[in-house]
Homo-oligomer: A and B are copies of this chain.
Amino acid sequence: MDYLDLMKSLHVQNDRKIVLLVMDGLGGLPVEPGGKTELETANTPNLDALAKVGVCGLSSPVGPGITPGSGPAHLALFGYDPIKYEIGRGVLEVLGIGFPLQPDDVAVRGNFCTVDANGVLTDRRAGRIASDKSAELCRLLQGIRIPGVETFVLPVREHRFAIVFRGPGLDAHLSETDPQVTGKPPLPLVATAPEAEQTAKLVNQWIEEARALLAGHHPANMFLLRGFAKDPSLPKLSDVCGLRAAALSTYPMYRGVAKLVGMDVLDAGNSLDDELAAMEANWQKYDFFYVHVKATDSRGEDGDFQAKVRVIESVDGAMPRLMALRPDVLIVTGDHSTPAAMKSHSWHPVPTMIVAPFCRTDEVEEFSERACARGGLGHFQAVELMPMAMANALKLEKFGA
């Protein structure tokens, strides 16, 4: 079942407001057997009080055992089946830095890297060169001219950049050049479908010119390309759900995904406080707010259990300010788990709660993995969250007679 189709045919508009608060990588693990997770360790009186009046459960971003990237994990939260709808990494990257991608553009993510005299990869991230240096190299590469193709070489952060190729008939079915390990040369770029042969030729021309330009710029004397992609033309939340939706995220990629589903991206500053201020300032203009907190994931990736606990506690501290807006439906969840014990995204389902007048409160009295496992929402697919949000906002009509 595609919930987008159902929601599209059933949605109605009203004044009720939905807030989707996403603590990136929220779900966790104990560091020792029998111990507590990050969320269970954190002192979260506000979230616990909300769990008490709300309904809780565990959501699976893609499916049991599947560890999702941020793109599919967020698509699922927004109601899009992450198996059916795919966003290429290149697209996420350029939308995240605010580039106005056009429907036929081909975007790709680049990493500056280091190669030795034989062209063999010695550092896949060029020593994580400074963002300034990276921007300077992008300006250098911007000078390359390929007949019939306009190129945009866009700095992202540290060693990361992106390229957009614009021109008639370009196709994104192209292989990646990142061998994923050092000790090998970058892979040759080839077309993975016949319709991309011409594009492969043009991009290979660009690569050769760029290789020559970078030769003297050790450690950033080469680059790796990953995730060639076009705008996937996703259905927009305004059409699917009739929502005026706003996104608040301090981190480019999440703003990019939000744009893809048709959200307005608001200036979210640099912190959850800034995000809340922006939400307060725009409260009347929208009926759906996606609020993203990145640091839970970052501290999980760092493997810093206590720091992740402190991030969760700081979000807990911000809940009274958020609830002062009186959202009709509040959802608190994560896009996936990032246990500090694993220093990476994981497959574990994510603690989730819905707080709304008709949410049918369960017996859960605290917001934690263990408590959510026996909550009234049960174990569910993240893609089901949006229909539940819409239902709790009384924005879905009856299906059938």
Contacts and interface: CB of A to CB of B under 8 A. Distances in A.
Interface in A36-95: 37, 53, 58, 62-73, 82-83, 86-87, 89, 92
The oligomer's copy count stands at 2
A: interface residue count bin? 35 or more
A186 interface: no
B63 A6 contact: yes
A99 interface: no
B391 A347 contact: yes
A376 B58 CA distance: 9
B387 A66 contact: yes
Interface stretch (A155-163, A195-203, A360-368): A360-368
Given A53-B33, A360-B348, A391-B67, A92 B401 contact: yes
A8 interface: no
A113 interface: no
A29 interface: yes
Given A345-B398, A346-B358, A370-B376, A387 B30 contact: no
Contacts of A37: 360
Interface stretch (A130-138, A307-315, A378-386): A378-386
A123 to B, nearest CB: 21
Given A29-B360, A360-B29, A376-B373, A398 B63 contact: no
Contacts of A373: 362-363, 374-376, 378
8 contacts: A29-B360, A63-B384, A67-B397, A227-B401, A342-B358, A360-B369, A363-B373, A379-B379
Interface of A: 1, 3, 6, 10, 29-30, 33-34, 37, 53, 58, 62-73, 82-83, 86-87, 89, 92, 227, 339, 341-342, 344-348, 358, 360-363, 369-370, 373-380, 384-392, 396-401
